Amino acid sequence: MRNLSADLNDLKRQHRYRRRRVVDLAVGTDIVIDGSRISNFSSNDYLGLSQHPEVIRAMQRGVEQYGAGSGAAHLITGHSKAHHLLEEELAELTGYPRALLFSTGYMANLGTITSLIGKGDAVFEDRLNHASLIDGGLMSGARLQRYQHGDIDSLRNKLSSSKAQERLVITDGVFSMDGDIAPLPELAKVTSQNDAWLMVDDAHGFGILGKRGAGSVAHFMLQDQVPIYMATLGKAAGVFGAFVAGSEELVETLIQRARSYIYTTAIPPAVAEALRASLKIIQNDNERREQLHAHIKYFRSGASELGLQLLNSPTAIQPILVGSNEATVEISRRLFDAGFAVSAIRPPTVPEGSARLRITLSANHSEEQIDKLLDALHQCCPTSEGSYA
Ligand SMILES: Cc1ncc(COP(=O)(O)O)c(C=O)c1O
């Protein structure tokens, strides 16, 4: 039998051991942990919608109408009117004929990829794609090839030398640990030139980019060239779940074939009602998005004045590269003691030697909170000589 204690000790030695913190309460962008109230700069609730009174009230009303749970899978009796209307509203917003709700983004990716390709096919993924996309590619049985991050030539070379029958190219729309936006127009061009499909996982772009927050594909107006659009609903939308949007045939294929759609309980209808309220705000409250973009600009200018090593990200994800696992964990701990939740992201989530602080901004943060975070970063991050301030 495998020695689990030895495995766990190895993780500790490599500073890769992960621990959970128990949150007692969420108050706006603050969380209470062990009796201390700290500013949360680690959440993906980019628009602050998880705390929005209309979203909360819609969930409460949903519970009153449908009860706490859906009671069954979508194909049995779990598909409520709330789910159905939400799918129609998601399709309308993203500019696709149909949308299909999944319980999580992880399941949406596994189910979609394995429904579309299999043995004898090929899947091409950006080297920095989210783990669920890589897992979907592996699970499909197709030949998985990873191209250099955002590198069209690297993809083109791999695509043009592939003899596979079906070829699927997959990219994050906004990269989850780097915050940069994929070169979607170029990706769309090279995939269509090579007669391949393109799938975009827009977990971090939906709600944030594009007119009415419709996401990265809508931002580039590429719906006709990106046949498979996936996004999650637990991030900017502030609630839970995920969806895949595309043609009538794509959605019907997923309903027939996606095992992670068929063999699981539908999300509670009350969650779907909360999401419908959240979608209304996403579409109509442009000021919220503008506020977030103003915060991004403000934070980046303050951080670069401090000489912090920012990545080239125009989005709410603002990582600061540190390098070593140990130093990243130490800075994150110091920030926590100073009243800020900023997560230390280490391999295997990011490539070896590129551990980082993943700072995420929300429209609901105040400039004062960002100023305080910048002060704390100044105190907690090593100087160029490697010592702490
Ligand atoms: C790019 C990306 N895709 C998919 C997922 C999975 O989504 P979910 O949390 O809904 O399972 C995440 C994060 O959680 C993500 O960052």
Task: List, for residues 299-326, the tens digit of each pLDDT value.
Answer: 999 999 999 999 999 999 999 999 999 9
| Closest C-alpha residue for ligand 1 atom 7 | 105
In a domain, 3, yes or no: no
For residue 10, report the phi and psi dihedrals to the nearest 5 degrees: -60, -45
| Closest C-alpha residue for ligand 1 atom 16 | 176
CA of 237 to the centre of ligand 1 (A): 13
**CA 294/CA 290 separation, integer angstroms:** 6
Q: 100-135 burial by CB neighbour count: b if 16+ within 10 A, else e?
A: bbbbbbbbbbbbbbbbbbeeebbbbbbebbbebbbe
Taking the complete model, does pTM exceed 0.85, yes or no?
A: yes
Looking from the CA of residue 233, the nearest atom of ligand 1 is 10
In a domain, 24, yes or no: yes
Task: List, for residues 286-300, the tens digit of each pLDDT value.
Answer: 999 999 999 999 999
Pair (279, 369) in one structural domain: no
Pair (224, 107) in one structural domain: yes
In a domain, 386, yes or no: no
CA of 105 to the centre of ligand 1 (A): 5
Active site residues: 176, 204, 235
Mean pLDDT of the chain: 96
Pair (76, 26) in one structural domain: no
- Where a domain ends, among 254, 284, 314? 284
Pair (118, 29) in one structural domain: no
Pair (82, 218) in one structural domain: yes
CA of 44 to the centre of ligand 1 (A): 10
Assess whether pLDDT exceeds 50 at residue 365: yes
Task: Read off the tokens for 146.
Answer: 């990873």
Ligand 1: residues with CB < 6 A are 104-106, 109, 130, 132, 172, 176, 201, 203, 232, 234, 242
Looking from the CA of residue 234, the nearest atom of ligand 1 is 10
Residue 383 confidence (pLDDT): 56
Which residue type, as a one-letter code, is found at position 272? Answer: A
Pair (210, 255) in one structural domain: yes
CA of 202 to the centre of ligand 1 (A): 9
- When divided into structural domains, the chain yields a total of 2
Pair (306, 363) in one structural domain: yes
Range of the domain at 79: 53-284
Pair (248, 314) in one structural domain: no
User: Which of 132, 240, 243 maximizes ligand 1 atoms within 8 Å of its Cβ, making it the mutation to test the pocket?
Assistant: 132
Looking from the CA of residue 129, the nearest atom of ligand 1 is 1
- Where a domain ends, among 255, 284, 313? 284
Task: List, for residues 258-297, the tens digit of each pLDDT value.
Answer: 999 999 999 999 999 999 999 999 999 999 999 999 999 9
Pair (263, 129) in one structural domain: yes
| Closest C-alpha residue for ligand 1 atom 14 | 105
For the chain, give the percent of residues with pLDDT over 70.
98
**Which residues neighbour 384 within 8 Å (Cβ) at sequence distance 6 or greater?**
307
Which residue type, as a one-letter code, is found at position 237? Answer: A
| Closest C-alpha residue for ligand 1 atom 5 | 105
CA of 306 to the centre of ligand 1 (A): 31
- Where a domain ends, among 250, 284, 318? 284
In a domain, 367, yes or no: yes
59 alpha carbon, distance to own chain's centre: 22
Residue 59 confidence (pLDDT): 98
Residue 16 confidence (pLDDT): 86
Task: List, for residues 160-215, the tens digit of each pLDDT value.
Answer: 999 999 999 999 999 999 999 999 999 999 999 999 999 999 999 999 999 999 99
User: Which of 42, 44, 46, 106 maximizes ligand 1 atoms within 8 Å of its Cβ, making it the mutation to test the pocket?
Assistant: 106
CATH (domain of 193) = 3.40.640.10
In a domain, 133, yes or no: yes
Pair (191, 251) in one structural domain: yes
Among 69, 76, 89, smallest CA distance to 271 is for: 69
Assess whether pLDDT exceeds 80 at residue 387: no
